[in-house]
Amino acid sequence: MDRQRSDDSAQRFSAYLDALAGVIGHAARVGPMRDYCTGLLLPCERKSVEPMAAATAPGQTSAQHQSLLHFIAKGMWSDAAVLGKVREAVLPQIESHGAIQAWIVDDTGFPKYGDHSAGVSHQYCGQVGKQTNCQVAVSLSLANHNASLPVAYRLYLPEVGASDTARRTLAGIPEDIAFETKPKIALRQIEWACQAGLPRGVVLMDSAYGMDLSFRKRLTELELTYSVAVRDSTLVARTLVDKPIPNAKPLRADELAKSLPQRGWRTITWRDETNTPLTSRFQRVRIVVAGAGTGAGQPTEWLLIEWPKGGAKPTKFWLSTLPETIPLDQMIDVTMMRWRVERDYHDLKQEVGLGHFEGRSWRGFHHHATMCIAAYGFLISERGAFSPSGYRSRSFIKEFAISESYRPGGFHAAA
- Looking at residue 2, what is its pLDDT? 54
CA distances from 66 to 54, 119, 202, 283, 353 (A): 12, 25, 44, 58, 19
Q: How far apart are CA 90 and CA 384, in angstroms?
A: 9
Task: Answer yes or no: is pLDDT of 66 > 70.
Answer: yes
Predicted pLDDT at 413: 45
- Residue 8: CB atoms within 10 A of its CB come to 14
Region 182-196: what's the mean pLDDT? 98
Within 13 Å of residue 292, how many CA atoms lie on the same side as its CB?
25
**Which region among 18-22, 65-69, 128-132 has the lowest average model confidence (pLDDT)?**
128-132
Residue 87 exposure: Cα atoms within 13 Å on the Cβ side: 19
pLDDT of 207 > 50? The answer is yes
Q: What is the pLDDT of residue 10?
A: 86
What's the pLDDT at 405?
A: 53
3-state secondary structure of 221: helix
Contacts of 274 by beta carbon, 8 Å cutoff, 6+ apart: 343
Residues in the chain: 415
Confidence (pLDDT) at 396: 47
Q: What mean pLDDT is predicted for residues 370-381?
A: 95
Per-residue model confidence (pLDDT) at position 209:
97
Mean pLDDT of the chain: 88
pLDDT confidence of residue 1: 44
Please count the other Cβ atoms lying within 10 Å of the Cβ belonging to residue 132: 15
Summarised one tens digit per residue, pLDDT across range 211-249 is 999 999 999 999 999 999 999 999 999 886 556 666 678
Query: What's the pLDDT at 343?
Result: 84
CA pair distance 313, 380, nearest whole angstrom? 39
Choice among 146-160, 243-257, 363-377 with the minimum mean pLDDT: 243-257
| Per-residue pLDDT, 77 | 97
Q: What is the mean pLDDT of residues 284-288?
A: 95
Question: Residue 340's pLDDT band (boundaries 50, 70, 90)?
Answer: confident
pTM: 0.90
- What pLDDT was estimated at residue 226? 98
Mean pLDDT, residues 78-107: 96
